[in-house]
Structure 1
Amino acid sequence: MMSSTCGSCGESLTDGPRCSMCHLEFHYGCAGITEGGYRRLGDRKLNWRCPKCKQPGLQSPQPCLTPTSPDIVLEIRALAVKLQALDPMAADLKVLRSEVSDLKDQISEANSSIRLFNGRVSALEERMTQVEKSQEQVELLHAEVKNMKVEVNAREQWLRINNVEVKGIPQTSNENLYTIIQSIGSKVNYCLQKQLISFITRVPTREKSQPCPIIVSFANRYVKEDFLAACRAANKVKLLTSSDLELRGNTNIYVNDHLTVQNKELLQKTKKVAKEKNFAYTWVKHAKIFLRKNDTSPIICIRSEVDLSKIH
């Protein structure tokens, strides 16, 4: 490549921008443009003008600093110091870029995990919705079962409407239950004819230490109510005992409605609540449980534990 001189400083040059007006060539530094910037001009280099041609008022060209100039030497030295200072920063920058790259990978993995987690949460929410719907159905079924139990208990109690339960009769072999019940009728002044009784039997009990109660089923509920009323009236005068029937021992005899197991449990709970709430009276009539606070308070019929929960 042929060498020429700079149109600004007069020093020789081998490469530099060429002015489209004065047709002089310049050092890149003298021309006020970098080599990279000049080459990026592309076809526009054909119209490039030097600083002097751009500003005609400037008569003298700016001096170009040569490598031998003291100022450029000081500047080069200063730049070298700065470059030396930048070397550790460049290394730190490289490490930082690596850390940023790792962080981006971690963020990408975290985003994937979050998307997976969100998917699982959505699936869990869907399952929870199904569970809530199922829970509503279960609650409805529980309510329905509860109503059915109440209905079954009511029907079972209705089947026992003609029955009385006699407790406290000593149990012996070859006993005649009809004779025993007839003796009770005599003691309470109620003439009990055999044709008024459908059947008599003892039933098993959980209390192994106590004799099995006797169940008497009458021909109709009216006979049963009359017999039961006579027993209660007699007990107000004197409680009937086994010795009154010329049976062994001196145990008390109780004649009551033949309640279902569920109603017997409800009666025990009612008695407990009555004691806690200072109710004076608890009784059973027509196989129904009643409560009364005192002689002037209203009578409360207890049909279920819900009724007990309303007592204050």
Structure 2
Amino acid sequence: MPLNRTPPSTSPTPTSAATLPVEITQAHLSALSSSEPNLSLKTDSLATDITLSHSSRNVKRKLSGVNRDSGLINQDSGLSVFMSEMKQMFNDFKLQQDEKYEKLLSLANSIRDSFDHLTIQHNSLKCQVEQLETERKEHLFHIQELESKLEQMEQSSRSSCIEIRNIPTSNTETKSALLDTVLGAAKLLDVKMQPRDVKDLFRIKTKDPAIKPIIVDFTSVLLKEEFLMKFRKHNKTSFKLTTEHLKLVGPAKPIFISENLSARNKRLFYLARDAAKSNGFQFCWVSHGKIFVREKIGKTHYLIKNEADLARVIKTA
């Protein structure tokens, strides 16, 4: 049968959304209970459902708030952990870099100290080398002076000697035989000398054993100079002296007589003659153990003491 509801006597006052369903429910329950007794059980059930629904909504709302707050808390906690881990990583990285920097700094300081030590040693060695170089130059100059003095002494010891070349040798040759040969040459050259004027004479070794030069050591330099002067004059004005003129056995060979030079001066004289011939110099000779060159008559003559002098004279001529 139709259910008639009694309208409310007064207009309901505005209420909140939370209380409105409860008031309406109670009004409806009153009307239902007055109009139909059999609906009391249904009314109680309906009220219970509405109350449970309202409570469920409140619980869900509270749980939703709790879950939302819990999520925010979890997010904040995770971010804090992440930031803490990153900070620890940066600290560890910084410690590693600091340790590496300290090692590099220590190594750089060690290298710098070693470099400074090497620099000091280098400067010390440089000073020692410069000092040794200075001493070497001084010693070299001193050695050259000594060699020059020794050369002068050696040449001076030969100042009274002459060298005769191309005199053939014999197996039974004696000093007496050599002396007779020298006296025979002096007679041809018109040099007045006696056996006592010869202090010593001997042959020297050469590459050709058949022809060894004869060294004649006179008792005076004056006699030696006269012998050489007469020999040169004889070759220019008369005939050139040969072994035939001295009645020596064998084919006739020209005889050469010159000053007895030291080994060093012999080599220098050889170089001077070769350079003079190659560069058009007309004169190259030895006088009193000294070597001279001259380009031609009327030109200045030059004393050659060493190879440097020879090169300079040839270059400036």
Q: Return the TM-score normalized by structure 2.
A: 0.66
- Corresponding residue for 1:20? none
Q: Which residues in structure 2 correspond to 1:181-260 (within 5 Å)? A: 181-188=182-189, 190-195=190-195, 197-236=197-236, 237-247=238-248, 248-260=250-262
Q: Which moved more, 1:114-123 or 1:86-95?
A: 86-95
- Corresponding residue for 2:95? 97
Q: Provide closer, same or farther for how the CA distance between residues 84 and 232 of structure 1 changes in structure 2, counting only shifts above 3 A.
A: same
- Corresponding residue for 1:23? none
SS of 1:243's partner is coil
Q: Which residues in structure 2 correspond to 1:45-84 (within 5 Å)? A: 77=75, 84=82
Q: What amino acid sits opposite 1:283 in the alignment?
A: W
Query: 1:245 Cα shift?
Result: 1.9
Query: 1:84 Cα shift?
Result: 4.0
Q: Which residues in structure 2 correspond to 1:75-224 (within 5 Å)? A: 77=75, 84=82, 87=85, 91=89, 94-95=92-93, 97-172=95-170, 173-175=172-174, 176-188=177-189, 190-195=190-195, 197-224=197-224
| 8 Å Cα contact 1:177-1:200 kept in structure 2 | no
Question: RMSD of the TM alignment (CA)?
Answer: 3.2
Query: 1:223 Cα shift?
Result: 1.9
Query: 1:118 Cα shift?
Result: 1.7
| 8 Å Cα contact 2:167-2:213 kept in structure 1 | yes
- Corresponding residue for 1:60? none
Query: 1:139 Cα shift?
Result: 1.5
Q: What amino acid sits opposite 2:280 in the alignment?
A: N
Q: Provide closer, same or farther for how the CA distance between residues 82 and 170 of structure 1 changes in structure 2, counting only shifts above 3 A.
A: farther
Q: Provide closer, same or farther for how the CA distance between residues 202 and 106 of structure 1 changes in structure 2, counting only shifts above 3 A.
A: same
Query: 1:292 Cα shift?
Result: 0.8
In the comparison of the two structures, how many residue pairs are matched?
A: 245
- Mapped to 1, the partners of 2:80 and 2:251 lie a distance apart of 121
Gaps of 5+ in 2: 1-64
SS of 1:140's partner is helix
Q: What amino acid sits opposite 1:219 in the alignment?
A: T
- What are the Cα deviations for residues 146-173 of structure 1, in whole angstroms up to 9, with x where unaligned? 1122122212222222211111111112
**1:287 maps onto 2:289 in alignment:** yes
| 8 Å Cα contact 1:281-1:292 kept in structure 2 | yes
| 8 Å Cα contact 2:191-2:230 kept in structure 1 | no
- Mapped to 2, the partners of 1:82 and 1:278 lie a distance apart of 108
Q: What amino acid sits opposite 1:187 in the alignment?
A: L
| 8 Å Cα contact 2:204-2:215 kept in structure 1 | no
Q: Which structure: greater helix fraction?
A: 2
Q: Provide closer, same or farther for how the CA distance between residues 179 and 94 of structure 1 changes in structure 2, counting only shifts above 3 A.
A: same
- Mapped to 2, the partners of 1:76 and 1:227 lie a distance apart of 133
| 8 Å Cα contact 2:183-2:195 kept in structure 1 | no
- Mapped to 2, the partners of 1:110 and 1:153 lie a distance apart of 61
Using the aligned pairs only, state the percent identity: 21
Query: 1:206 Cα shift?
Result: 3.9
Q: Provide closer, same or farther for how the CA distance between residues 306 and 82 of structure 1 changes in structure 2, counting only shifts above 3 A.
A: farther
- Corresponding residue for 1:298? 300
Query: 1:197 Cα shift?
Result: 2.1
| 8 Å Cα contact 1:197-1:216 kept in structure 2 | no
Gaps of 5+ in 1: 1-66
- Mapped to 1, the partners of 2:213 and 2:206 lie a distance apart of 11
Q: Return the TM-score normalized by structure 1.
A: 0.67
